[in-house]
Amino acid sequence: MPHVIVSPCIGVKDNACTEVCPVECIYDAGDQFLIHPDECIDCGACVPACPVSAIYPEEDVPGGETEFIVKNRVYFGL
């Protein structure tokens, strides 16, 4: 999974990240956006576009936010 969206996105869901994604792999998951791991091309365009700094490469997700890696996989059935 190239990138993961974590808790600062909850309740904010600013569309800036979706607007810059060249492959449209960011989906509205109700309370936040999530990135489809099989569709993401790991370009990183979404990272600086996020106004709440909620997007990380999977290997850089902060320790207290690792449950979002699992949440992302479960949401997309992976």
Q: What is the pLDDT of residues 47-77, one digit of tens each?
A: 999 999 999 999 999 999 999 999 999 999 8
Q: CA 49 to CA 6: how far, in whole Å?
A: 14
Average pLDDT along the chain = 94
pTM of the model: 0.92
Show the domains of the chain with their CATH numbers: 3-75 (3.30.70.20)
Nearest to 35 by CA among 44, 60, 12, 59: 44
Q: What is the dihedral of CA 4, 18, 33, 76, to 10 degrees?
A: -70
pLDDT of residue 78: 82
Q: Percent of the chain beyond pLDDT 70?
A: 99
Query: Are 1 and 9 within 8 A, CB to CB?
Result: no
* pLDDT of 1 above 70: no
The label of the residue with tokens 């699992």 reads: 70
